[in-house]
C-alpha cells in the first residue's frame, strides 16, 4: 500500500497523472482531452473535453448492477415517517421530477431554486436538475424572505421548487408565506413555483404560477427522461455563502471535477463501499448536504440517510438507533451536535449495536479536544475531524484512512488532502512559514483541485478579489483561517483571520481562548467574540453553557465559575487573553444545522443589528445575551 505522504506528493507533482487515475472512478460519456487547463490563473478547468452527468453517476449506473439495493432512506422524527427508495425507485422518481421540470419550461443551463425541507422530493429535484442539465440553487428551508429574495434576484430561476412547510422540534414552519413574500420583494419573478404539499400547513396557490407537484407527478410518472450529457466544465449548481457585503455570493461548481472529487473522497477519506450505508446529519441547504447526503454516497453506490429531526428527539439515542437499523458504516455530523448529545445521559451511546460503524466524521465547527475525547470514549469508534468550506466542496484537511491508516489527533482536523497544496503564510510579508509551530494564514496554491468552486456566479472579479488577492505578492487562495502545523504535519485551526481580537496591540484568536475555556470541567459549550472597547480597541467576551447548570443557583455561584474560568485562561494563555467578562447562559445561538452565530453575538454585544436570524435554532438565546450585556458590567 502506498503511504499517504507519497500519495499526496504525487497529487501535487504529477497532478494530471494522479487525477486522470481518479477520473476512472466515474462514468464518462466522452473521454476528456485535458486533465487540467490552467492557462488563466486562478481559473482552473478540469477534465476539459469530457462529457458526463452527475445524475447518471449517482443513479443510472447503479440501476444496472444493484437495482433493488437501498439508495435513499428518508427518516423524519418530526412527522414519524420512514420511506426507503431502491436505486430503481429513485430512478423512477427522478425521471418523473425531470419530466415535470421540463413541462414547466426548464431547459439546459436554466436555474431552478430549491427551497425545501429535508424530504425526498428535495433530493429528487436536485438530481432531476443534474439529469436535464439545469443548474440548481438550494436555499436553506425557512430562510427569511429578504434573504431569499436576494438569492432569487441573483440566480434568476425559471422555476422555484418548494413545499407547504417544514417542521422543527414538533413546530410547523410554513414555507409558502415566506416564499410568496420573497417573490413579491424580488425584482426577478420566476414563471413557475412547484409545490409539494405535506399537509402540514394550508397553502394559497397563485393561479397561473403555482403548480401542485402531486398532480404533475401523477401525470409524468413512468416518463423516460434520458440524461443530458454535459461538458465537464458546465455548471452543476450554485450555492450561496456568507460574504462581507450584503450581496449574496454564489459559489459556482462544475460537473466533471465535482463528480471525480466526490467519488475519490468516498473511497480515500470516507472508506465507502457499494452496498454500504452513509448517514450525514446535515441539511441539503448546506454544502455538506450537497456533497455527502445527495451526490457523494450515491455516486459511490451507497445508501444515504436523509434525516429530518433533532439528535435528541424522541430521545438522545435516535441517531444510534438508525446506525443499528440500517447498518451505517460512515457517519458525518457536526461538533456542535455532539456537544448537544454531551448534555444527555451517556447511556444512549451504549444502547445500540454500532458494530457496522467504521468512523464518525465531524466538520462545520472546530472540534475541541474535550468533546472529541468524550464521543470517542462513548462510541468506542474512531473520531475523524475534517476541515473544509462551501467553496471547496470536500475536505481540505482530514485523515485519509482509505489510503493509509493514520491516527487522529484531538484538536487537529488532520493533514492536507491529496490535490490540496496547503501552506502557512505570514500575512504581512507573504512569506511561506516552514517547519512546526509557526502561526500563519492557511492558504492553497493554485490550481484548486477538482470539485472546488470555479468562480463566484456571474462575478469573476469578485472571485479573484475575495479569495486570491489577500496575500501580498502571492496569487494563493486564502481560507481566511489562522493555523499552525506540528512536527508531524498535522494542522490546527485557530479561527478566522477576521475573528482575530486585537487587545491593546496583542493579536489573539478567539479559537485559542475558546479551547482554553473548554478545558474547564464545568464548561459544556463556549463562544468567544471580540467586542469593541474604547480603551483597548477590542476585548474578548465569553459566553458559556455550564455542564452543571443546576448548581449555579445564585449570582455568587455564577461569579465563582466566572472567576475559575478567568484563572484557567490566565494560567494557559496569560492575562492578556483573559476575557473581559464570562457570561453564563442557558443556550448559545446557533443555526438549525448547529453552527454558532458568533457574528450575531458580537453584533448584540456592540449594540448593532445582528442581521438575518431566521435560521436561528432558539430565538431566546440572543435575547438572553442582550439582557446580560445591557446590564451592569
Span between the terminal Cα atoms of the chain, in Å: 60
Between vectors from CA 370 to CA 421 and to CA 414, what angle results, nearest 5°? Answer: 15
- Cα distances (Å, whole numbers) of residue 264 to 21, 268, 629: 10, 6, 48
171 pLDDT higher than 70: yes
CB 439 within 8 A of CB 417: no
Q: Please state, as a whole number, how many other Cβ atoms lie within 10 Å of the Cβ of residue 243.
A: 12
Residue with cell 431502491: 86
The whole-number average pLDDT for the span 140-167 is 92
Of the given ranges (191-200, 273-282, 488-497), which has the lowest mean pLDDT? 488-497
Q: Which residues contact 521 (CB under 8 A, 6 or more apart)?
A: 547
CB 369 within 8 A of CB 377: no
Q: Please return the burial class of 193, using the count of CB atoms within 10 Å of its CB with bins 0-12, 13-18 and 19+.
A: buried
Task: Give 177-197 pLDDT, tens digit per residue.
Answer: 999 999 999 999 999 999 999
244 pLDDT higher than 50: no
The whole-number average pLDDT for the span 84-92 is 98
Torsion (CA) 48, 49, 55, 56 in degrees, nearest 10:
-130
Residues in the chain: 633
Q: Which residues contact 395 (CB under 8 A, 6 or more apart)?
A: 265, 269, 363, 386, 387, 388, 413, 417
User: 316's torsion region: left (phi>0), alpha (psi -120 to 50) or beta?
Assistant: alpha
Of the given ranges (125-134, 242-251, 581-590), which has the lowest mean pLDDT? 242-251
pLDDT band at 209 (very low <50, low <70, confident <90, very high): very high
Q: How far apart, in whole angstroms, are the C-alpha atoms of residue 25 and residue 21? A: 8
pLDDT at 340: 87
pLDDT at 364: 81
List the domain boundaries for the chain: 77-223, 504-630
246 pLDDT higher than 70: no
507 pLDDT higher than 70: no
Give the distance from CA 325 to its chain's centroid: 25
Q: What cell numbers appear for 472 in the block? A: 501580498
Q: How far apart, in whole angstroms, are the C-alpha atoms of residue 621 and residue 282? A: 22
What residues form DSSP beta bridges with 277?
303, 328
Residue with cell 478567539: 510
Q: What is this structure's pTM?
A: 0.86
Residues 504-630, CATH architecture: 2-Layer Sandwich (3.30)
Q: Which fold would CATH assign to domain 77-223?
A: Rossmann fold (3.40.50)
**Could you give the maximum distance between any two Cα atoms of the chain, in Å?**
72
Q: Please return the burial class of 573, using the count of CB atoms within 10 Å of its CB with bins 0-12, 13-18 and 19+.
A: middle
Q: How far apart, in whole angstroms, are the C-alpha atoms of residue 409 and residue 529? A: 26
Q: What cell numbers appear for 30 in the block? A: 466522452
476 pLDDT higher than 90: yes
Q: Which residues contact 189 (CB under 8 A, 6 or more apart)?
A: 183
Question: Which residue, among 143, 145, 82, 139, has the nearest Cα to 114 in the 3D structure?
Answer: 139
- Cα distances (Å, whole numbers) of residue 12 to 17, 35, 421: 10, 13, 7
Task: Give 333-365 pLDDT, tens digit per residue.
Answer: 988 889 889 889 989 999 999 999 999 999 987
pLDDT at 175: 96
pLDDT at 500: 67
Amino acid at each position: 500500500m502506498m503511504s499517504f505522504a507519497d500519495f499526496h506528493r504525487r497529487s501535487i507533482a504529477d497532478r494530471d497523472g494522479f487525477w486522470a487515475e481518479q477520473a476512472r472512478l466515474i462514468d464518462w460519456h466522452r473521454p476528456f482531452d485535458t486533465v487540467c487547463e490552467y492557462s488563466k490563473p486562478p481559473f482552473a478547468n478540469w477534465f476539459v473535453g469530457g462529457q458526463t452527468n452527475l445524475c447518471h453517476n449517482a443513479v443510472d449506473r447503479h440501476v444496472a448492477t444493484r437495482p433493488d439495493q437501498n439508495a435513499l432512506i428518508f427518516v423524519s422524527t418530526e412527522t414519524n415517517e420512514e420511506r426507503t427508495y431502491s436505486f430503481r425507485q429513485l430512478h423512477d422518481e427522478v425521471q418523473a421530477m425531470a419530466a415535470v421540470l421540463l413541462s414547466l419550461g426548464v431547459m439546459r443551463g436554466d436555474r431552478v431554486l430549491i427551497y425545501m425541507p429535508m424530504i425526498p422530493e428535495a433530493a429528487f429535484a436536485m438530481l432531476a436538475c443534474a439529469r436535464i442539465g439545469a443548474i440548481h440553487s438550494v436555499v436553506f428551508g425557512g430562510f427569511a424572505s429578504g434573504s431569499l429574495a436576494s438569492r432569487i434576484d441573483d440566480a434568476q430561476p425559471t422555476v422555484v421548487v418548494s413545499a407547504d412547510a417544514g417542521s422543527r422540534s414538533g413546530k410547523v414552519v410554513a414555507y409558502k408565506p415566506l416564499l410568496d413574500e420573497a417573490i413579491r420583494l424580488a425584482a426577478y419573478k420566476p414563471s413557475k413555483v412547484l409545490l409539494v404539499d405535506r399537509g402540514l400547513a394550508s397553502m394559497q396557490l397563485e393561479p397561473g404560477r403555482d403548480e401542485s407537484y402531486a398532480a404533475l407527478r401523477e401525470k409524468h410518472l413512468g416518463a423516460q427522461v434520458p440524461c443530458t450529457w454535459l461538458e465537464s466544465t458546465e455548471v452543476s449548481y450554485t450555492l450561496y455563502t456568507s460574504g462581507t457585503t450584503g450581496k449574496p455570493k454564489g459559489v459556482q461548481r462544475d460537473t466533471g471535477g465535482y463528480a471525480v472529487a466526490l467519488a475519490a473522497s468516498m473511497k480515500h477519506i470516507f472508506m465507502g463501499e457499494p452496498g454500504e450505508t452513509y448517514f450525514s446529519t446535515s441539511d441539503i441547504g448546506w454544502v455538506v448536504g450537497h456533497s455527502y447526503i445527495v451526490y457523494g454516497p450515491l455516486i459511490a453506490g451507497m445508501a444515504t440517510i436523509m434525516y429530518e429531526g433533532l439528535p435528541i428527539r424522541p430521545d438522545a439515542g435516535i441517531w444510534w438507533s438508525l446506525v443499528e437499523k440500517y447498518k451505517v458504516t460512515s457517519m458525518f455530523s457536526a461538533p456542535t451536535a455532539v456537544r448537544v448529545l454531551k448534555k444527555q445521559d451517556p447511556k444512549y451511546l451504549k444502547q445500540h449495536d454500532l458494530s457496522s460503524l467504521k468512523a464518525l466524521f465531524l466538520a462545520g465547527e472546530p472540534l475541541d479536544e474535550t468533546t472529541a475525547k468524550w464521543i470517542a470514549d462513548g462510541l468506542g469508534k474512531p473520531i475523524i475531524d475534517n476541515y473544509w468550506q462551501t467553496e471547496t466542496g470536500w475536505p481540505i484537511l482530514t485523515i485519509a484512512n482509505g489510503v493509509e491508516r493514520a491516527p487522529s489527533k484531538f484538536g487537529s482536523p488532520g493533514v492536507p488532502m491529496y490535490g490540496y497544496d496547503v501552506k502557512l503564510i505570514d500575512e504581512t510579508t507573504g512569506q511561506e512559514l516552514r517547519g512546526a509551530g509557526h502561526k500563519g494564514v492557511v492558504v492553497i496554491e493554485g490550481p484548486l483541485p477538482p470539485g472546488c468552486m470555479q468562480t463566484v456566479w456571474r462575478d469573476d472579479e469578485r472571485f479573484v478579489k475575495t479569495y486570491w488577492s489577500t496575500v501580498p505578492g502571492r496569487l494563493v487562495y486564502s481560507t481566511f483561517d489562522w493555523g499552525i502545523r506540528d512536527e508531524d504535519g498535522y494542522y490546527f485551526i485557530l479561527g478566522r483571520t477576521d475573528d482575530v481580537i486585537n487587545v491593546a496591540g496583542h493579536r489573539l484568536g478567539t479559537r485559542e481562548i475558546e479551547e482554553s475555556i473548554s478545558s474547564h470541567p464545568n464548561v459544556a459549550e463556549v463562544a468567544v467574540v471580540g467586542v469593541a472597547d474604547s480603551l483597548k480597541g477590542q476585548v474578548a467576551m465569553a459566553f458559556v453553557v455550564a455542564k452543571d447548570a443546576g448548581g449555579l443557583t445564585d449570582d455568587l455561584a455564577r461569579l465563582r465559575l466566572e472567576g475559575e474560568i478567568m484563572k484557567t485562561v490566565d494560567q494557559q494563555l496569560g492575562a492578556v487573553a483573559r476575557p473581559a467578562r464570562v457570561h453564563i447562559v442557558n443556550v448559545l445561538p446557533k443555526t438549525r444545522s448547529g453552527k454558532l452565530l458568533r457574528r450575531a453575538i458580537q453584533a448584540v454585544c456592540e449594540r448593532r443589528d445582528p442581521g438575518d436570524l431566521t435560521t436561528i435554532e432558539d430565538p431566546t438565546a440572543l435575547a438572553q445575551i442582550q439582557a446580560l450585556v445591557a446590564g451592569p458590567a
